Chains A and B, each alone.
Chain A
Amino acid sequence: MASAVSSLEKYLEEYDEIKSTLPGQGLDWLVQLRQQGLDQFSTQGFPTTRDEDWRYTNVTPFIKKSFQSVLAKPSTTVLPEQMDHYYVPDCWQVVIVDGHFSNTLSKLDGLPEEVVVMALSDALIKCPDKVKSYLGQAVENEDHGFIHYNTAWFSEGLFVWIPQQVKMKQPLQLVHVVTQENVATATRNLIVAEAGAEGVVIESYFGSQAQAYLTSSISEVFVAENAHLTLYKLQNEASKALHCSGVYSQQEKHSTFNYLDFSFGGLIARNELHVNVGFAAACDLNGLFVGSGRQHFDNHTWINHLQPRGSSRELFKGILDGRARGVFQGCVKVFEDAQKIDSEMHNHNLLLSDNAEIDTKPQLVIYADDVKCAHGVTVGQLDDASVFYLQSRAVSEEEAKNMLTFAFANEMVDQIKVSSFKSYILALLLQKFPQGGIEQEWL
Chain B
Amino acid sequence: MTSSTKEIEQLIGKEYDKGFVTNLEADTFLPGLNEEVIAALSAKKNEPPFMLEWRLKAYRHWLTMTPPEWAFVNFKPIDYQQISYYSAPKQSEKLKSLDEVDPELLDTYKKLGIPLEEQERLSGVAVDAVFDSVSVATTFKGKLKEVGVIFCPISEAIQEYPELVKQYLGSVVPQEDNFYAALNSAVFTDGSFVYIPKGVRCPMELSTYFRINAANTGQFERTLIIADESSHVSYLEGCTAPMRDENQLHAAVVELVILDNAQIKYSTVQNWYPGDKDGKGGIYNFVTKRADCRGVNSKVSWTQVETGSAITWKYPSCVLTGDNSVGEFYSVALTNNYQQADTGTKMIHVGKNTRSTIISKGISAGKAQNSYRGLVKVLKSAENARNYTQCDSLLVGDQCGAHTFPYIEVKQPSANVEHEATTSKISEDQLFFCQQRGLSPEDAVSLIVNGFCKEVFKELPMEFAVEAQALLGISLEGSVG
- With a cutoff of 8 Å between Cβ atoms, the chain A residues found around residue B406 in the complex are 361-363, 377
Q: Are B407 and A361 in contact (CB under 8 A)?
A: yes
Is B213 part of the binding interface, using a Cβ–Cβ cutoff of 8 Å? no
Q: Are B421 and A357 in contact (CB under 8 A)?
A: no
Q: Are B421 and A376 in contact (CB under 8 A)?
A: yes
- With a cutoff of 8 Å between Cβ atoms, the chain B residues found around residue A374 in the complex are 420-423
- With a cutoff of 8 Å between Cβ atoms, the chain A residues found around residue B399 in the complex are 336
Q: Are A375 and B424 in contact (CB under 8 A)?
A: no
- The A-contacting residues of B in range 400-417, CB under 8 angstroms, are 400-417
Checking A353, A358, A370 against B410 with a beta-carbon cut-off of 8 angstroms, the contacting residue is A358
In the assembled complex, how far is the CB of residue A327 from the closest CB belonging to chain B, in whole angstroms? Answer: 10
**A-B contact list, 20 entries, CB within 8 Å:** A351-B410, A351-B413, A354-B380, A357-B410, A361-B408, A364-B393, A366-B393, A366-B395, A366-B403, A367-B401, A368-B395, A369-B400, A370-B398, A372-B422, A374-B421, A374-B422, A377-B417, A379-B417, A380-B415, A381-B414
Q: Are B422 and A373 in contact (CB under 8 A)?
A: yes
- With a cutoff of 8 Å between Cβ atoms, the chain B residues found around residue A353 in the complex are 413
Q: Are B412 and A354 in contact (CB under 8 A)?
A: yes
Q: Are B403 and A369 in contact (CB under 8 A)?
A: no
Is B75 part of the binding interface, using a Cβ–Cβ cutoff of 8 Å? no
Q: Are A381 and B416 in contact (CB under 8 A)?
A: yes
Is A78 part of the binding interface, using a Cβ–Cβ cutoff of 8 Å? no
Is A210 part of the binding interface, using a Cβ–Cβ cutoff of 8 Å? no
- The B-contacting residues of A in range 151-182, CB under 8 angstroms, are none
- With a cutoff of 8 Å between Cβ atoms, the chain B residues found around residue A365 in the complex are 401, 403-404
- Complex CA–CA separation, A373 to B404 (angstroms): 11
In the complex, the chain A residue whose C-beta lies closest to that of B395 is: A369
Q: Are B425 and A371 in contact (CB under 8 A)?
A: yes
In the assembled complex, how far is the CB of residue B112 from the closest CB belonging to chain A, in whole angstroms? Answer: 33
Interface string of A20-39 (1 = CB under 8 A from B): 00000000000000000000
Additional A-B contact list (9), CB under 8 Å, known A361-B408, A364-B403 = A349-B410, A361-B406, A364-B423, A366-B395, A367-B401, A371-B423, A377-B420, A378-B419, A380-B417
- With a cutoff of 8 Å between Cβ atoms, the chain A residues found around residue B425 in the complex are 369-371
- With a cutoff of 8 Å between Cβ atoms, the chain A residues found around residue B410 in the complex are 349, 351, 357-359, 379
- Complex CA–CA separation, A336 to B399 (angstroms): 7
In the complex, the chain B residue whose C-beta lies closest to that of A357 is: B411
- With a cutoff of 8 Å between Cβ atoms, the chain B residues found around residue A356 in the complex are 413
Q: Are A337 and B408 in contact (CB under 8 A)?
A: no
Is A226 part of the binding interface, using a Cβ–Cβ cutoff of 8 Å? no
Q: Given A365-B401, A369-B398, A379-B415, is A359 in contact with B408 using a C-beta cutoff of 8 Å?
A: yes
- Complex CA–CA separation, A389 to B168 (angstroms): 51
Q: Given A337-B398, A351-B410, is A363 in contact with B418 using a C-beta cutoff of 8 Å?
A: no
- With a cutoff of 8 Å between Cβ atoms, the chain A residues found around residue B395 in the complex are 366, 368-369, 371
- Complex CA–CA separation, A108 to B397 (angstroms): 54
- With a cutoff of 8 Å between Cβ atoms, the chain A residues found around residue B420 in the complex are 374-377
- With a cutoff of 8 Å between Cβ atoms, the chain B residues found around residue A377 in the complex are 406, 408, 417-420
Nearest 7 interchain pairs by C-beta: A380-B416, A351-B413, A369-B395, A377-B419, A364-B404, A379-B417, A373-B423
Q: Are A363 and B417 in contact (CB under 8 A)?
A: no
Q: Given A339-B398, A357-B410, A369-B398, is A362 in contact with B421 using a C-beta cutoff of 8 Å?
A: yes
In the complex, the chain B residue whose C-beta lies closest to that of A343 is: B423
- With a cutoff of 8 Å between Cβ atoms, the chain B residues found around residue A295 in the complex are none
- Complex CA–CA separation, A52 to B423 (angstroms): 24
- Complex CA–CA separation, A337 to B410 (angstroms): 37
Is A299 part of the binding interface, using a Cβ–Cβ cutoff of 8 Å? no
In the assembled complex, how far is the CB of residue B301 from the closest CB belonging to chain A, in whole angstroms? Answer: 23
- With a cutoff of 8 Å between Cβ atoms, the chain A residues found around residue B396 in the complex are 369
Q: Are A371 and B424 in contact (CB under 8 A)?
A: yes
Is A352 part of the binding interface, using a Cβ–Cβ cutoff of 8 Å? yes
- With a cutoff of 8 Å between Cβ atoms, the chain B residues found around residue A364 in the complex are 393, 402-404, 421, 423
Q: Are B409 and A359 in contact (CB under 8 A)?
A: yes
In the complex, the chain A residue whose C-beta lies closest to that of B393 is: A366
Is A215 part of the binding interface, using a Cβ–Cβ cutoff of 8 Å? no
In the complex, the chain A residue whose C-beta lies closest to that of B400 is: A369
Residues of B participating in the A interface, judged by any CB pair closer than 8 Å: 70, 378, 380, 393, 395-425
- With a cutoff of 8 Å between Cβ atoms, the chain B residues found around residue A358 in the complex are 408-410
In the complex, the chain B residue whose C-beta lies closest to that of A358 is: B410
Is A360 part of the binding interface, using a Cβ–Cβ cutoff of 8 Å? yes
- The B-contacting residues of A in range 96-139, CB under 8 angstroms, are none
Number of interface residues of A (CB under 8 A): 36
In the complex, the chain A residue whose C-beta lies closest to that of B5 is: A369
In the complex, the chain A residue whose C-beta lies closest to that of B390 is: A376
Checking A357, A362, A376 against B409 with a beta-carbon cut-off of 8 angstroms, the contacting residue is A357
In the complex, the chain A residue whose C-beta lies closest to that of B402 is: A366
In the complex, the chain A residue whose C-beta lies closest to that of B404 is: A364
- With a cutoff of 8 Å between Cβ atoms, the chain A residues found around residue B415 in the complex are 351, 379-380
- With a cutoff of 8 Å between Cβ atoms, the chain A residues found around residue B404 in the complex are 362-365, 375
In the assembled complex, how far is the CB of residue B342 from the closest CB belonging to chain A, in whole angstroms? Answer: 12
- With a cutoff of 8 Å between Cβ atoms, the chain A residues found around residue B416 in the complex are 378-381
- With a cutoff of 8 Å between Cβ atoms, the chain A residues found around residue B423 in the complex are 364, 366, 371-374
- With a cutoff of 8 Å between Cβ atoms, the chain B residues found around residue A372 in the complex are 422-424
- Complex CA–CA separation, A364 to B397 (angstroms): 18
Q: Are B398 and A362 in contact (CB under 8 A)?
A: no
- Complex CA–CA separation, A364 to B423 (angstroms): 8
In the assembled complex, how far is the CB of residue A296 from the closest CB belonging to chain B, in whole angstroms? Answer: 14
In the assembled complex, how far is the CB of residue A329 from the closest CB belonging to chain B, in whole angstroms? Answer: 9
In the assembled complex, how far is the CB of residue A310 from the closest CB belonging to chain B, in whole angstroms? Answer: 15
- With a cutoff of 8 Å between Cβ atoms, the chain B residues found around residue A366 in the complex are 393, 395, 401-403, 423
- Complex CA–CA separation, A362 to B404 (angstroms): 8
Q: Given A357-B411, A371-B424, is A378 in contact with B417 using a C-beta cutoff of 8 Å?
A: yes
Q: Are B419 and A362 in contact (CB under 8 A)?
A: yes
- Complex CA–CA separation, A357 to B409 (angstroms): 7
- With a cutoff of 8 Å between Cβ atoms, the chain A residues found around residue B414 in the complex are 381
- With a cutoff of 8 Å between Cβ atoms, the chain B residues found around residue A359 in the complex are 407-410
- With a cutoff of 8 Å between Cβ atoms, the chain A residues found around residue B419 in the complex are 362, 375-378
In the complex, the chain B residue whose C-beta lies closest to that of A328 is: B408
In the assembled complex, how far is the CB of residue A323 from the closest CB belonging to chain B, in whole angstroms? Answer: 11
- The B-contacting residues of A in range 17-67, CB under 8 angstroms, are 52
- With a cutoff of 8 Å between Cβ atoms, the chain A residues found around residue B408 in the complex are 358-361, 377, 379
- With a cutoff of 8 Å between Cβ atoms, the chain A residues found around residue B70 in the complex are 52
- Complex CA–CA separation, A381 to B407 (angstroms): 19
- With a cutoff of 8 Å between Cβ atoms, the chain B residues found around residue A336 in the complex are 398-399
- Complex CA–CA separation, A357 to B412 (angstroms): 7
- Complex CA–CA separation, A358 to B409 (angstroms): 6
- The B-contacting residues of A in range 307-362, CB under 8 angstroms, are 336-337, 339, 349, 351-362
Checking A351, A363, A379 against B405 with a beta-carbon cut-off of 8 angstroms, the contacting residue is A363
In the assembled complex, how far is the CB of residue B111 from the closest CB belonging to chain A, in whole angstroms? Answer: 35
- Complex CA–CA separation, A372 to B402 (angstroms): 12
- With a cutoff of 8 Å between Cβ atoms, the chain B residues found around residue A363 in the complex are 403-406
- Complex CA–CA separation, A352 to B425 (angstroms): 39
In the assembled complex, how far is the CB of residue A347 from the closest CB belonging to chain B, in whole angstroms? Answer: 9
- Complex CA–CA separation, A367 to B370 (angstroms): 10
- With a cutoff of 8 Å between Cβ atoms, the chain B residues found around residue A351 in the complex are 410, 412-413, 415
In the complex, the chain A residue whose C-beta lies closest to that of B375 is: A361
In the assembled complex, how far is the CB of residue B122 from the closest CB belonging to chain A, in whole angstroms? Answer: 43
In the complex, the chain B residue whose C-beta lies closest to that of A369 is: B395
- Complex CA–CA separation, A391 to B260 (angstroms): 40
In the complex, the chain B residue whose C-beta lies closest to that of A373 is: B423
